[in-house]
């Protein structure tokens, strides 16, 4: 598995000591993308590589409030272990934590040989393997937005948006970032080796976006996972709160997780391109013998789009994984609401940017920033695989401004509806793995049940003084 055996642990220990690093932080993703882990004294690293780190499997079934959800293989099995081994190929010094290096962990069943089927990194790796059956390798460039908040005892939830001020869309500098948070964060993420490219203040007050360079999807998801964890930690260092939740404020928009996706063949050529691989105007002949479409996309690209369209309701459950996610949707939000695609159209669920040649790609705008990057990208690959495998045909592209439900079907409007769609999508489940999907559905249905039992501030304000 992965690269943990390609790096000699004793060589790694010597290099770490030479760099004055005495602790290795081993982190891995739970189901909702929270970084779990353990700090290992560097001299103990060889033993940890041999025997692994034992964690309770219920780490995958633990809610954000610390409750263990009753998911098969957890409570009913007596809370057994998983075994996590460091992937030394991902070692990197932590720029803001002197003497500490970080690496990702690989989750295995207790015997330490069989990958853990609930591990998000393994779910993605499985989807990558299925796509490889078609001779395709996926490349992704993630974009993530988040809100930065400052403590405010007078605010209803105890937090206010940092640098509040309307109309500061796509700005940089101290006007919208008076304490230099973005510059500081961007530099730390660069020094952590995450291959970040740029950042800016986003559409809403106190909202920022940091972009990652594109790469093969497992590496891209690794870096997106580490970016989210690092941004949250750096905000804590500043005494602030960085949140990737979909829509934290009633009077503002939400935060998205957009994935720019392309596929290359064994020769490294972009198979979504309907022109020459050199960016010229002469269409090449794809493997199925069909010519390029008038939009400059190959038949493979159209099949990929069709797969995403066909499985969009189920994808929603993973790309929009919380009760809060569905408060981000709606007309005129620049968040998807309908199941559609368009050419350079930001009101569509799948946007095809105008570049062609090697830069031909899909921008899947379905996800919100609260999604687990591993699982969102895995589900996306599963839909692409099914679309290409079954040679599906997409509907015509959206023309003009979207959000007209007479022109396309609506996405699920609640987490419950999305989970029902995922449970019914047997083809997608086959690609992602039944054990993972069963665990995910049980975990998320518990979230819905807990929310439905909770009395909100809105309910008290709406009813208490009047009925």
The residue among 419, 416, 367 whose CA lies nearest residue 258 is 367
Are the C-beta atoms of residues 243 and 147 closer than 8 Å to each other? yes
Give the pLDDT confidence score for residue 179 in this predicted structure: 92
The residue among 186, 190, 188, 187 whose CA lies nearest residue 199 is 186
pLDDT confidence band for 279 (50 / 70 / 90) = very low
pLDDT, one tens digit per residue, over 358-393 is: 999 999 999 999 999 999 999 999 999 999 999 999
- Residue 4 counted as domain residue: no
- Residue 463 counted as domain residue: no
Q: Where are the alpha helices (DSSP H) in 325-433?
A: 373-389, 415-424, 426-432
Task: Tell whether the model's pLDDT for residue 66 goes beyond 90.
Answer: no
pLDDT, one tens digit per residue, over 149-206 is: 999 999 888 999 998 777 677 777 788 888 999 999 999 999 999 999 999 888 888 9
Give the pLDDT confidence score for residue 132 in this predicted structure: 97
Are the C-beta atoms of residues 25 and 61 closer than 8 Å to each other? no
pLDDT, one tens digit per residue, over 236-248 is: 999 999 999 999 9
Give the pairing type, strands 350-352 and 196-201: unpaired
The residue among 40, 43, 121, 51 whose CA lies nearest residue 81 is 51
* HEC sequence for 288-316: CCCCCCCCCECHHHHHHHHHHHHCHHHHH
More confident residue, 21 or 288: 21
**Segments forming the whole domain that contains residue 94:** 10-116
Task: Tell whether the model's pLDDT for residue 230 goes beyond 60.
Answer: yes
Considering the domain architecture, whether residues 139 and 179 belong to the same structural domain is answered as yes
Q: What is the CATH number of the domain that holds 29?
A: 3.10.20.70
Considering the domain architecture, whether residues 232 and 351 belong to the same structural domain is answered as yes
d(CA 108, CA 4): 13
Arithmetic mean of pLDDT over the chain: 91
Question: Cα separations (Å) of 429 from 223, 265, 322, 410, 451?
Answer: 25, 25, 20, 22, 26
Give the pairing type, strands 100-108 and 23-29: parallel
Considering the domain architecture, whether residues 345 and 408 belong to the same structural domain is answered as yes
Q: What is the CATH number of the domain that holds 153?
A: 3.30.590.10
Task: Tell whether the model's pLDDT for residue 402 goes beyond 70.
Answer: yes
Give the pLDDT confidence score for residue 293 in this predicted structure: 62
Give the pLDDT confidence score for residue 330 in this predicted structure: 82
Range 81-95 average pLDDT: 95
pLDDT, one tens digit per residue, over 409-455 is: 999 999 999 999 999 999 999 999 999 999 999 999 999 999 999 99
Give the pLDDT confidence score for residue 287 in this predicted structure: 37
Considering the domain architecture, whether residues 59 and 172 belong to the same structural domain is answered as no
User: What is the pTM for the complete model shown?
Assistant: 0.93
Task: Tell whether the model's pLDDT for residue 283 goes beyond 70.
Answer: no
Give the pLDDT confidence score for residue 167 in this predicted structure: 67
Considering the domain architecture, whether residues 65 and 200 belong to the same structural domain is answered as no
pLDDT, one tens digit per residue, over 13-53 is: 999 999 999 999 999 999 999 999 999 999 999 999 999 99
Considering the domain architecture, whether residues 106 and 153 belong to the same structural domain is answered as no
- Residue 1 counted as domain residue: no
Considering the domain architecture, whether residues 178 and 309 belong to the same structural domain is answered as yes
- Residue 437 counted as domain residue: yes
Overall domain count for the chain: 2
Are the C-beta atoms of residues 296 and 360 closer than 8 Å to each other? yes
pLDDT, one tens digit per residue, over 349-360 is: 999 999 999 999
- Residue 294 counted as domain residue: yes
């Amino acid at each position: 598995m992965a690269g943990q055996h390609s790096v000699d642990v004793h060589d790694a220990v010597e290099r770490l000591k030479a760099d004055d690093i005495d602790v290795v932080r081993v982190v891995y993703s739970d189901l909702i993308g929270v970084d779990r882990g353990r700090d290992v004294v560097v001299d103990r690293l060889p033993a940890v590589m041999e025997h692994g780190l034992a964690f309770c499997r219920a780490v995958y079934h633990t809610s954000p409030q610390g409750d263990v959800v009753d998911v098969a293989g957890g409570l009913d099995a007596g809370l057994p272990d998983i075994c996590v081994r460091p992937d030394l190929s991902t070692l990197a010094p932590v720029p803001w934590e002197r003497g500490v290096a970080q690496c990702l962990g690989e989750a295995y069943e207790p015997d330490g040989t069989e990958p853990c089927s609930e591990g998000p990194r393994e779910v993605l790796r499985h989807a990558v393997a299925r796509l490889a059956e078609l001779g395709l390798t996926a490349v992704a460039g993630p974009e993530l937005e988040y809100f930065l908040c400052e403590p405010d005892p007078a605010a209803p939830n105890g937090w206010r948006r940092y640098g509040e001020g309307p109309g500061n869309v796509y700005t940089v500098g101290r006007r919208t970032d008076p304490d230099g948070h973005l510059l500081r964060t961007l530099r730390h993420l660069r020094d952590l080796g995450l291959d970040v490219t740029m950042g800016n203040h986003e559409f809403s007050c106190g909202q920022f976006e940091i972009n990652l360079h594109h790469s093969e999807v497992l590496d891209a998801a690794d870096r997106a996972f580490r970016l989210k964890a690092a941004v949250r930690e750096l905000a804590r260092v500043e005494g602030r709160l960085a949140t990737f939740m979909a829509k934290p404020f009633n009077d503002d928009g939400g935060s998205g997780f957009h994935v720019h996706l392309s596929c290359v063949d064994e020769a490294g050529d972009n198979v979504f391109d309907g022109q020459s691989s050199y960016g010229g105007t002469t269409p090449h002949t794809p493997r199925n013998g069909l010519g390029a479409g008038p939009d400059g996309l190959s038949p493979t690209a159209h099949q990929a789009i069709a797969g995403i369209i066909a499985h969009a309701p189920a994808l929603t459950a993973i790309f929009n994984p919380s009760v809060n996610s569905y408060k981000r949707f709606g007309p005129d939000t620049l968040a998807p609401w309908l199941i559609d695609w368009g050419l350079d159209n930001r009101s569509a669920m799948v946007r095809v940017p105008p570049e062609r040649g090697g830069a031909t790609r899909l921008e899947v705008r379905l996800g919100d920033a609260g999604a687990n990057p591993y699982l969102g990208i895995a589900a996306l690959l599963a839909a692409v695989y099914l679309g290409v495998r079954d040679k599906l045909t997409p509907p015509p592209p959206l023309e003009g401004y979207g959000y007209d439900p007479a022109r396309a079907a609506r996405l699920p409007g609640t987490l419950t509806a999305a989970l029902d769609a995922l449970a019914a999508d047997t083809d997608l489940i086959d690609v992602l793995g039944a054990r993972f999907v069963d665990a995910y559905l049980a975990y998320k249905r518990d979230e819905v049940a807990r929310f439905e039992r909770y009395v909100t501030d809105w309910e008290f304000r709406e009813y208490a003084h009047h009925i």
